Amino acid sequence: MINILLSLAFGFLIGYKKLLSEKMILLNGKFQTLVLLLLIFVMGMSIGIDREILTQLPMLGGTAFVFAVAVCLGSIVVVYVISRIFFKGEKKK
C-alpha cells in the first residue's frame, strides 16, 4: 500500500514539476502500455504455473466466471445510473 502511494506520488511530482520534455512525455505513454502488457503477461503466467488453480478450474471455474461477470455487470449498471443522475452536467468522455 505504501509502495503504491510512493510510486504514484513520485511520478506525480515529476509530472507536476514539468521535469519531462514533450518527447519524454510521449515516451511515457508508450512505456505505460508496454509495462501494462508485461504486467498482464506476468499475472497470466502466475495463474498458469499455479497447479491448485488449474486443478480447481474445471470444477469451480464456471461458477466463478458467472460470479465475475455478474459483479462486473452489476457494478457497471449501478455506476451508469449514478453517472446519469449525479454527473450529468459533466462531459462523458
Partner 1 sequence: MSVIIFITLLCGIGAGVFVGSGIDAGIMEKMSSLLLLLLLFSVGIDMGLNKQVFSQIKKQGFKILLIPIGVAIGSLLGGSVVSLFFPQSLRECLAISSGMGWYSLSGILLTKAGNATGGTISFLANVMRELLTFVSVPFIAKHINYYCAIAPGGATAMDTTLAIISRNTNATIAVMAFVSGVCLTMIVPILVPVFL
- Residues in contact with partner 1 by the rule CB under 8 A: 3-4, 7-18, 20, 25, 28-29, 31-33, 35-51, 53-54, 56-57, 60-61, 63-83, 86-87, 92-93
* CB of 23 or CB of 51, closer to partner 1: 51
Cα distance between residue 34 and residue 36, in whole Å: 5
CB 23, min distance to partner 1, A? 14
CB of 10 to partner 1, least distance (A): 6
What angle (nearest 5°) sits at the alpha carbon of residue 41, between those of residues 38 and 44? 150
- Nearest CA among 17, 16, 45, 20 for reference residue 31: 20
How far apart are the C-alpha atoms of 4 and 10, rounded to whole Å?
A: 10
**Please, what is the minimum distance in Å from the beta carbon of residue 55 to partner 1?**
10
